[in-house]
Chain A
Amino acid sequence: MSNVTLAKAPRSIVGGLRNSLQQVLAFASLIGIVIFFSIMSPHFFTANNIVSVLTAATVTGILALGTTFVIITGGIDLSIGTGMILCGVMAGVFLTLWGWPLWAGVLGAILFGALIGFINGFTIAVLGIPPIIATLGMMLVASGLSLVISGTKPIYFNEQPDFQKIMNLSLIPGTRFPMGVAVFIVMIVIAAIVLSKTILGRYTFSIGSNEGATALSGVNVTKWKIVIYTMSGLFVGLAGVLAASRLSSAQPTGGMGLELEAIAAVVIGGTSLQGGKGSIVGTVIGALIMAVLTNGLRIISVPQEWQSVAVGCVILIAVYLDMLRRKSS
């Protein structure tokens, strides 16, 4: 019982109000950016371009959803970018080399993501390696294994023509609304429910607020940390499947840097790197802000050098404003 009260502490009335205020502000900045680009270019706010923004946000967004849990516990996961690439390669191995049926290969790749997450959870919670080091190690291991397993060549899904439909299939006839975006939306709902309505979500917050007190109140912190990293790994596996599906090939290179984009989305969304605070809605808004910025700056033809400068400044401003709000309240 005591752990339930403990977990509820940060979600008191004041905290709840502050949280929703923060989300309203983040949402307002998103709307502000959208209005800005809509005024700057007539080509920004069109159905086709909105779908393009959502498609671009899907993979990073799904990675960010899982990472939100990890960051709320006060941890971090740097292995999600290259881990995702490795899951895509494993999908290629299962489907193309081993000839598994589509559902089994996809499930296998997602579970492989969970395995990566489990190993992260184990090295962090059981061996006590700091999360940033443990997942940095995993980031390099995954990057290397992708190359080793694929023989440094991309794996093509030519024998599984349905594989590319997972991301690309147009759901609404006559439009270009891809299934991947629908999957993203479903995952948002699932993540929000898990974080706010389940015991897993409650423990995520309470481990992040005060790990020692959580352990003292009888929660098996080690076990739940492993569960949280493993669950984050499921998101990584799914993101890997979608990324490979989009290009109908598993590209063994790359992935590095994607983890930072996902972490930036989480942080812009108001989740504290110190742990204990955060929300799925915030992360989704953060991911959309990143995607809208990148797309909008391109639409109004800002030179690429300046695009990075602008995105970097937005991250700094967003996090600073968030700190000010926390201080004042």
Chain B
Amino acid sequence: MITKTRLAAIVGSLSIFVALAGCAGGDAATPGDDGEKPYVALVSKGFQHQFWQAVKSGAEKAAAEFDVEVTFEGPDTEADVDQQIQMLQTALDKSPDAIGFAALDSKAAGPLLQQAKDSNIPVIAFDSGVDSDIPVTTASTDNKAAAAEAAKQLADAIGHEGEVALVVHDQTSVTGVDRRDGFIEYMEKNEPDITIVDTQYGGGDQAKSADLAKAIIAANPDLAGIYGSNEGSAIGVVQAVKELGLKSTDIAIVGFDSGKAQTDAIRDGLMIGAITQNPVGIGYETVKAAVEAMEGKKLESTIDTGYFWYNKDNIDDAEIAAVLYD
């Protein structure tokens, strides 16, 4: 009995392996070795969020334009450093012609980046970039400048005085740190009558960010404005204000990125506006830079993919609408 079931189990798992090997083989063989299309492997910080899907679509657009093969992968959450390292390892094993990489943890990726360098595979950093001198260039939003713009808009909205707070997605990633520091530095430098009363981190989770924004509002009854540093944080702040029955005249909210809940809040006037990066541009510029690096062209050390401030008035302009996602 036991041996029979065990045998069945072994046969079963073997057949799964064979099937998997079949898929993997088909995947790996097409791009690199045949000397057909050049292959660019992109390993991003995420996959599921709308933002990453927009980056992916930009990468695919460039892939079609420059006639290269592109794959796009990313871990389930921005805390899964292990999973991302695994993806980068797998990408390297497929010996691509170039790699695009947005590091969750630059140090953890160090040995693999060195391996890429040793095998002459150019690395293009994108989004939050990679803290290392191996990448030939970095295609990203200047998050500090973008956050300073958000601070300026919030200061204008509250009449350059009062208390403000920040709801940030995390305190470890480069985007989290830059979007926090860019905002705080602008306020400290230019707005003597604005006090920053609190900075909290919600992991970009909407419900969590809503709960902590409510705590901030409760602890600071005179709060004039809140800044949410990414899609989940900003929507969480909007949710908090909704649940407390406050209006945009009570608390001014500025956000970051887009997503339908955020664009709706801006149209309804609950949020005064938000900064959007250009995710399609990030994907596009990364692949374009990869192609140029393969051809041996010299690249600038950074490629600014740009940002926009959008509000009720310009949300439907063609230039803005093209980079917003639902």
Contacts and interface: CB of A to CB of B under 8 A. Distances in A.
B303 interface: no
Given A294-B211, A295-B211, A304 B218 contact: no
Contacts of B219: 41, 43, 298-301
Given A41-B219, A168-B243, A154 B259 contact: yes
7 contacts: A48-B218, A49-B214, A147-B48, A247-B235, A249-B260, A253-B49, A304-B171
Interface residues of A, number: 37
A152 B244 CA distance: 30
Contacts, number: 84
B215 A298 contact: yes
Given A46-B218, A154-B259, A301-B198, A56 B326 contact: no
A153 interface: yes
Contacts of A59: 207
Nearest to A50: B218
B223 to A, nearest CB: 11
A298 B198 CA distance: 9
Given A59-B207, A298-B200, A178 B243 contact: yes
B207 A243 contact: yes
Interface string A151-179: 01110100000000000100000001010
Given A247-B239, A254-B205, A301-B198, A52 B47 contact: no
A243 B259 CA distance: 18
A202 interface: no
Contact of B215 (A156, A248, A295): A295
B213 to A, nearest CB: 9
Nearest to A55: B243
Contacts of B153: none
Contacts of A154: 50, 259-261
B226 interface: no
A315 interface: no
B221 interface: yes
Contact of A246 (B205, B212, B220, B239): B239
Interface in B41-85: 47-50, 53, 76-77
Q: Which of B50, B214, B245, B260 has the most CB of A within 10 A?
A: B214
Contacts of B221: 43
A249 B47 contact: no
Interface of B: 47-50, 53, 76-77, 171, 198, 200-201, 205-207, 210-212, 214-216, 218-221, 235, 239, 242-245, 259-261, 326
Contacts of A49: 214-215, 218
A143 interface: yes
A176 to B, nearest CB: 6
A191 to B, nearest CB: 22
Contacts of B48: 147, 152, 252-253
B203 to A, nearest CB: 9
B243 A156 contact: no
Contacts of B171: 304-305
A251 B205 CA distance: 10
Given A56-B211, A143-B76, A43 B218 contact: yes
Contacts of A44: 218
Nearest to B211: A56
A256 interface: yes
B34 to A, nearest CB: 31
Contacts of A253: 48-49, 76-77
A41 B77 CA distance: 34
Interface in A47-69: 48-49, 52, 55-56, 59
Contacts of A243: 207
Contact of B211 (A43, A52, A248, A305): A52
Can you list the 8 inter-chain pairs with the closest CB atoms, starting with the nearest?
A298-B215, A56-B211, A52-B214, A49-B218, A299-B219, A43-B219, A304-B201, A253-B48
Contacts of A252: 48
A243 B207 CA distance: 8
Contacts of B215: 49, 52, 295, 298-299
A81 to B, nearest CB: 12
Q: Which of B211, B218, B245, B259 has the most CB of A within 10 A?
A: B218
Contacts of B260: 154, 156, 249
Contacts of B53: 152-153
B215 to A, nearest CB: 4
Contact of A247 (B77, B206, B211, B214): B206
A256 B326 contact: no
A249 B262 CA distance: 12
A239 B145 CA distance: 40
A304 B166 CA distance: 13
A291 to B, nearest CB: 8
B244 A176 contact: yes
B82 to A, nearest CB: 14
A11 to B, nearest CB: 37
Contacts of A305: 171
A304 B199 CA distance: 9
A48 B49 CA distance: 32
Nearest to A297: B215
A306 to B, nearest CB: 12
Contacts of B207: 59, 243, 246-247
Nearest to A247: B206
Nearest to B171: A304
B211 A251 contact: no
Nearest to A255: B205
A178 B211 CA distance: 14
Contacts of B220: 43
